[in-house]
Structures are given as C-alpha cells and as structure tokens.
A and B are shown apart, each in its own frame.
Chain A
Amino acid sequence: MSTNLQLNAQGKLKHFLSIEGLDKTLLTEILDTAESFIGMNDQQIKKVPLLRGKTIVNLFFENSTRTRTTFELAAKRLSADVLSMSIATSSTSKGESLLDTIRNLEAMYVDMFVVRHGISGAAHFIAQQTAPHISVINAGDGQHAHPTQAMLDMFTIRQVKHDFAPLRVAIIGDILHSRVARSQIQALNTLGVAEIRVIAPKTLLPAHVEKLGVSVCHDLQTGLQDIDVIIMLRLQKERMTSALLPSESEYFRCFGLTEQKLKIAKPDAMVMHPGPINRGVEIDSKVADGAQSVILKQVSNGIAVRMAIMAIAMQKQGMVA
C-alpha cells in the first residue's frame, strides 16, 4: 500500500513520498529528466511552460531554507503558481489539525502539495487523505524519508562518477535520526552500488540498520578505506543533551572529516553533505570548501532534480502536455 500509493493505476508516479517501492527505471528517468533541465540554469530565461496554470503549495510544518527555496524556484521555473506556507507559525498553532489545513487548501483548487513535517508518515497520511487529482511530494517527514534530497544526491554522484556500479559509498554520522540517510540508502541500493557503509557510534545507529542493506563500521579511520563517495550528515546539538554523545569535540575527534582523514579514502573521493553544515563538528572547513567537496553543487542540482520530480508527478493522467 505504501508503495502503490505512489503510483497510479498505470504505474506512473503520482506521489513522491519515499524511494521505497520505486524501481531503477523510474529513478533513472528522474535523473535523465533532471539532466535536461540542468542546462537551463545558464540560459537567459530560466523557465519552461510545463506546469503553466498549475498551483503548487509548499507546506512546511518544519523550518527549512534550502529545501523550501529550491522547491519554490523549481516550481517557478516550471511556470507554476507557487504558494509557500510555514505552517509551524500559522494555522496549526491555533489548534487546527493537519487534516483541516489540507482540506482548506484543497478547497482552493491546488494541484500539488510539497510537504515537510516533523512526524514520520505525515506525507503518506496527506497523500491518503487528499483528493485523487492532487499530487503530494514529500520534502522530509520525521525520521522516515527525504526522497528529493536523496535524488539530488544521486544526480550529483552520477554527474561526477558517471556509473553507480563500482562505487563504495560511506554515510557518516547521525543515521538514527536521519531521513536523508534512509532515502539515500534506498536509492543507492536501487541504483546498484558496490557497497554502502554506515559509520557512526552505536548511539547514532538505528536497530538492525544492516537490514537496510548496508555494512556497519564504528570507526572512521577503517571505514573510509576504499571509499569513492563520502556523505557527511548534520549533527544536531540536542544529541549531546539527550546523552547520545559526550561532546561536540569528542565527536569531531572521532567522526569529524578532516583533510588528514580524507586521505584515507580514494584519492578522487567526493565529499557530500545535505546541509546545513556544522563546521568543526562533523566536517572541517578545509574539507567543506576543498576541491573534493561538491556540497554547493548539490544545492544547485536540487533545483533541476525537484523540477524533474514535479514534472513527472504531474504527468499522470496526461495532466501535462
């Protein structure tokens, strides 16, 4: 149900909620479509009329700058009308339920919701409750999924490395609380990389993480060997107060990526981070701004990939010419 919910009767993408249940062909279609949009960034007029006349509402129940901005730009470049709402500070604080918020917006003839919410499963819930013609794009739900981030990461990896098959990918840091990591792992497994290694202390790894199809390592020095792609995750400050870690400095000493540790990986290893970065906590500035870093490239690619996902999701039932 979770997987079918994303596809319509013809097997076409209707909602984009999670990487789980989407096959390699579809993920590749998203990457290829994004490729066709990437050239637009350098053009004088950065717009295509694909979603002209469509109304897209960005519903952000959690704060975000980059994700919301890139979604907004992506929608505008597809010529859609966009409304961005930070619900954290609006209706729900007056006691309106998630469902009522959705129902009210639905009544305004919206075609697509882009949703970010702090609770796992929120995007699924909204997709189940909305009218059949509305598409829902998950822009991050709790600790569950952040599939558009994962796709822009896949796009960036493909841009640099061209082929997924031989790659060994390390994901480092707070896997436990990371919706990004979960979606990345599913995407990397679907696209077929050689290995995914998660590197973190046990306190930051979820139970039976190996069942997601990864190998597990608790030491950065050994973990970085033979690695082609390094993905650093953001470490939230509250992990220290909830007794998951002793201190930022000890974390940086053990799991922070420095120039010296970067040398353990393959010489052409690329360094990624979904942002926002904590300099000196999970990553040293010299690495974040260094030659192997693609962190800003990830942000730029975010627009093209989100355009691709929105365009494909709106193609259902021939809604887009």
Chain B
Amino acid sequence: MHVIIENGRIIDPANQVDCVGTLYLADGKIASVINPPDGFQADMRLNASGQIVCPGFIDLSTRLREPGQSRKATFKSEVIAAASSGVTTLCLQPDTSPVIDTPAVAELIKELANKAGYRQILPIAALTRKLEGNELSSMLALKQAGCVAVSNAGAPVTNLLILRRAMEYAASHDLLFIFRPNDYWLGNKGCAHEGAVATRYGLPGIPDAAETIALAHCLELAELTGCRVHFGQLSCKRSVIKIQQAQKYGLAVSADVAIHQLHLTENDMIPFDSAYHVLPPLRTEADKQFLRQGLASGTINCICSDHQPHDVDAKLGAFPETEPGVSSLETLLPLTLKLVEQHAIDLQQAIAALSQHPADILRLNKGALTPGLPADICVFDPEREWQVNTSTWKSQGCNTPYWQQTLKGRVTHTLQAGKLIYRLHEPA
C-alpha cells in the first residue's frame, strides 16, 4: 500500500521540518518527505491542504477500563476515541482488574487491542504485585511480554525500602519507572487542592507537599539506584522547580503533565461539579503558570491526556464521593493547540510534546517522520471548530469539564503503520 499525503504543512520536530509539501508512505513506513521516491505509484491520495501533517501522538497515560471495568469503557469504544484524536500509540496504566502484574494479563491486553483493530496499546507493568506496594512484580517477564515501563499507577508504595528495591530491580533490567508522586498520608484521602477553594466548600484538601515530598523521595532514590524515572501528571509549581534542579544536576529524569492541568485551576471548578474531580487536583493559577513555563523550557517535555473515562454513576453523587478523572483523549489536541494560541509554547513544541518526546522516553522507534519509521501519522485542521456533544464525542465516558463547549482543532485523518484508521466524516 502506497499513500500520498499532499500539500499539507508537514511538521516533524525531530527532523526540524516545517514546510508545505507532500509525504510519501510505502508498506506501512515513511518513504519520503517532500521529494517523491523513484517510481512511486500511489494507491491512495489524501489532500491535506490547509492542514497540518505530523507524527501520530503517543499518550503516556491512559485507562481504557478493560480488563475489568467494561461498564465504564471498552477497548472498542476508546480506540475510536484515540484514533479520532490523532493518537496512534496508547500506554495503558497497570491498574486494570486484574492488575497488569503477570505476562498473562499483558498478553490479554495485546489480544484485546488486536481485536479492537488498534495494535499500538502498550501495557505498563505494575511495579509491585497487585499494586499493593509490598512485593516486586515479575518485571523482566512483563518486559518480555511487551510492557514498556513499570509503574504503581495511583497506588502508593509507602515503604521507601520497597520503593528503593523496586527501582534497583527495574534499573537492572533497564526498565523505565513511571511515577506519579503522591504521599499517601499527606494526601489524607482528599479530593481537592488544599487551598482557598477547598476551604470555602469544606472539601478535604490535598496539599501540594503531598506531591513534592513524594517527588523529592523519588529523586533521591533515582540517584541512589540509577533508575530511569519519568514523573507523570505533575500538578504544582515546586514539582517543576525540583525536576529542573535534578535535571541540571544531571539526573536522567523526565516529566509530563496532564493537559487539563495546563488550562484549569481550582478557581475554574464549578462548585461540587464532579466533572472537575481529578487527581492530582486542579491547583492554583501560579501552579498552572509554572507548569506552562516548565513545558516551554523543556523541564516537562510531554503532555499526556491522563484519559479516565467513567460511567454516569461514577460521577453522580456528592463531589467527594464521586470517582476522580476526566475523559480526555478527544480534548488533548484542541487544548494543546490552545496553548499555542495563548503563546505558552510554539506549535513545534506542542507536537514534540505529543509525539517525539514520549517516543524518546519510551525508546520507541517512532514519533518522527524519518524515512523507514512506522507511518503513524496525524493530519489535523488547526482552525476547524467543533462542539463537544453526543454527536461528536466518541469515548464511552462523557466525563469532561468541556462538555457542550466549542473547541478549535480537529483531526481529519489518522494513520497507524500506514493504514487509515480514522477519517473525519463531516462536510468541510
């Protein structure tokens, strides 16, 4: 199969390409950028004029709810949401049911992915057995079964000796450790940022120190163990400062931020509206600005969706009793483009944060338009507006604070290994 994507603005941050031209794909791989390969005969031509052509997005943190919670979402429903959002590779957090702590579960995920017709769902292995924080998981076997990293998802490892040993063991097998810092005790089962808003509404608070203290512990252990650490879903100012210092000092650490943290703060919360119930919680304006600066300076180099679809019942109740998380695959690109429009980052940085950098962190041979790499491509119209509603939304989880809002930036085509897995069916 030979594909031509014509006349689009090709942006490939890894190769410093930003020009209008044509992209040539052959047999599932990138064949050439701009210059046609000798004797290239296209089987399919896509017109991308007025649109941006870039590497498909790689999402470092998602929950597709299978296995175990198919009432919330299924691979079938969520891969359509991913494809329609230009996401061609999904990393799956290990807090499924059963937990991804045996090769059998990793195999099951591969099988479910194949059945859903989306071959790029990469399981993240549990760091500890059942995520209980007590015993090490069989990391090597899990790696061999296709897991790209280890993580304890949202579950705590309260014993630092166990955390140290887990990191040492992960380092022995050159496994990336993905860590969402949150001190269990300081978090105190809170549901909102410990600050003026939580105080006003009497909501149990989570101080930013719950994140920064856990992060500081882990940075020390990263140095002690030599483990490669990627910090997921940072939410506050002092986390950014700590990562910056560690990187300056020479530690091999990286970080991402969930897209909603770059746009929403505690002040945006509609009182007691469970759509705003997320973990880590929405914090202050100063935190948001620091996260944006961290992204601009490269301290934080990835943006993830932190996609967590829920069923209606999970979000129906008094705020503290509802389940945290937003369904966010489909808002990932428009909200990232909004950062560009607001001059927080430029378009190349935005695309790199969604493709090149996650690929680098996972050491995946993708995230760029280099000839020979898999043809994972996203084509989007940056100016096209659309409303978040039942007719446009694909995810089974409608839990988003952006419901009924109009967003700008719409994916028109998504290709995975050269195969068209999504095409926007709307009049132009």
Measuring CB to CB, which residues of chain A are less than 8 angstroms from any residue of chain B? Answer: 1-2, 20, 97-99, 117, 119-122, 124-125, 141-145, 179, 182, 206-209, 211-212
Kindly provide the distance from the CB of A100 to the nearest chain B CB, expressed in whole angstroms.
Answer: 11
Query: When the two chains form their complex, are residues A125 and B196 in contact, meaning their CB atoms are under 8 A apart?
Result: no
A144 touching B201, Cβ below 8 Å: yes
Q: What are 19 residue pairs bridging A and B, where the CB atoms are less than 8 Å apart in the complex? A: A1-B271, A2-B270, A119-B318, A120-B201, A120-B272, A120-B318, A121-B318, A121-B319, A124-B318, A142-B318, A143-B202, A144-B201, A144-B203, A207-B194, A208-B195, A211-B196, A211-B199, A212-B196, A212-B200
Q: A143-B202, A207-B207, A208-B195 are in contact. Are A119 and B321 (CB under 8 A)?
A: yes
Q: Does B316 contact A (CB under 8 A)?
A: yes
Point out the residue from A98, A179, A212 that lies within 8 Å of B318, measured CB to CB.
A98
Contact A2 B202 (CB under 8 A): no
A92 → B minimal CB distance (Å): 12
Complex alpha-carbon distance, A155 and B201, angstroms: 24
For B200, give its contact among A20, A97, A117, A122 (CB under 8 Å). A20
Q: A208-B195, A211-B196 are in contact. Are A99 and B317 (CB under 8 A)?
A: yes
Contacts of B67 in A (CB 8 A): none
A61 CA to B420 CA, complexed, in Å? 54
* B111 touches A (CB below 8 Å): no
> Would B273 and A1 count as touching, CB distance under 8 A?
yes
Secondary structure at the B interface, as helix, strand, loop or mixed, is: loop
Q: Which 6 A-B pairs have the closest CB atoms?
A: A143-B202, A144-B202, A2-B271, A121-B272, A206-B199, A211-B196
Q: Which residues of A contact B181 (CB under 8 A)?
A: none
CA–CA, A212 and B199, complex, Å: 8
Q: In the bound complex, do residue B316 and residue A207 qualify as a contact, i.e. CB atoms below 8 Å apart? A: no
A141-B318 in contact (CB<8A): yes
Q: Indicate whether B205 reaches chain A with its CB closer than 8 angstroms.
A: yes
* Least Cβ–Cβ distance between B71 and chain A, in angstroms: 15
Assuming the contacts A119-B318, A121-B319, asked whether A208 and B199 have C-beta atoms less than 8 A apart, the reply is yes
Q: With an 8 A cutoff between CB atoms, is B407 at the interface?
A: no
For residue A205, which residue of chain B has the nearest CB? Answer: B199
B198 within 8 A of A: yes
Whether A120 contacts B273 in the complex (CB less than 8 A), given A98-B317, A98-B318, A99-B317, comes out as no
User: Separation in Å of the B276 CB from the closest CB of chain A?
Assistant: 12
B194, B196, B199, B320: the one contacting A142 at CB < 8 Å is: B320
Chain B min CB distance to A127 (Å): 10
Q: For the complex, what is the distance from the CA of A52 to the CA of B318, rounded to whole Å?
A: 32
Identify A120's interface contact among B195, B207, B316, B320, CB under 8 A.
Answer: B320
Min distance, Cβ A154 to any Cβ of chain B, angstroms = 19
Write out, one digit per residue, whether chain B residues 198-221 have a CB within 8 A of any chain A CB (1) or not (0): 111111110100000000000000
How would residues 311 to 349 of chain B score, 1 for a CB under 8 Å from any chain A CB and 0 otherwise?
Answer: 000001111110000000000000000000000000000
- Residues of chain B contacted by A208 (CB below 8 angstroms): 195-196, 199
A121-B320 CB under 8 A given contacts A1-B273, A207-B194: yes
A117-B205 contact, Cβ under 8 Å, with A1-B273, A2-B270? no
Among A97, A119, A179, A207, the residue within 8 A (CB) of B196 is: A207
**Known A141-B202, A143-B202; 11 more pairs at CB < 8 Å:** A119-B321, A120-B320, A121-B271, A124-B272, A125-B272, A142-B318, A144-B201, A207-B195, A207-B198, A207-B205, A208-B196
Q: Are B199 and A125 in contact (CB under 8 A)?
A: no
Contact across chains for B207 and A182 when beta carbons are under 8 A apart:
no
B202 and A179 within 8 A (CB)? yes
Residues in B neighbouring A2, C-beta threshold 8 A: 270-272
Which of A1, A2, A20, A125 counts the most chain B CB atoms within 10 A? A125
* Docked-complex contact B196 and A124, CB < 8 angstroms: no
Name, among B195, B270, B272, B321, the residue most crowded by chain A CB atoms within 10 Å (CB to CB). Answer: B272
B313 CB → nearest A CB, Å: 8
Closest chain B residue to A118 by CB distance?
A: B318
Chain B residues numbered 346-400 whose CB sits less than 8 Å from any CB in chain A: none
> What is the bound-complex CA distance between A117 and B203, given in angstroms?
14
Q: Which residues of B contact A122 (CB under 8 A)?
A: 318
Q: Which residues of B contact A182 (CB under 8 A)?
A: 200, 202
Minimal beta-carbon separation of A190 from chain B (angstroms): 14
Partner of A1, one of B200, B201, B270: B270
Distance in angstroms between the alpha carbons of A182 and B271 in the assembled complex: 15
Residues of A within 8 A of B318 (CB): 98, 117, 119-122, 124-125, 141-142
- Residue among B195, B200, B205, B207 with the highest chain A CB neighbour number at 10 A: B200
In Å, the complex CA distance between A207 and B206 comes to 10
With A207-B194, A207-B198 known to touch, is A119 a contact of B205 (CB < 8 Å)? no
Distance to closest chain B CB from A115 (angstroms): 11
A1 to B194, CA, bound (A): 22
By a CB distance below 8 angstroms, the chain A residues around B194 are 207
Task: Write out the residue numbers on chain A whose beta carbons fall within 8 Å of the beta carbon of B195.
Answer: 207-208
The complex places the Cα of A207 from the Cα of B204 at a distance, in Å, of 10
| Residue of B with least CB distance to A179 | B202
Query: Whole-angstrom distance between the alpha carbons of A122 and B319 in the complex?
Result: 8
Residues of A within 8 A of B271 (CB): 1-2, 121, 124
- Which residue of chain A lies nearest to B205 when distances are taken between CB atoms in the complex? A207
Supposing A117-B318, A121-B320 touch, asked if A207 and B272 sit within 8 A by C-beta, the answer is no
Bound: A123/B318 CA distance, A? 8
Chain B stretch 50-66: residues in CB contact (< 8 A) with chain A: none
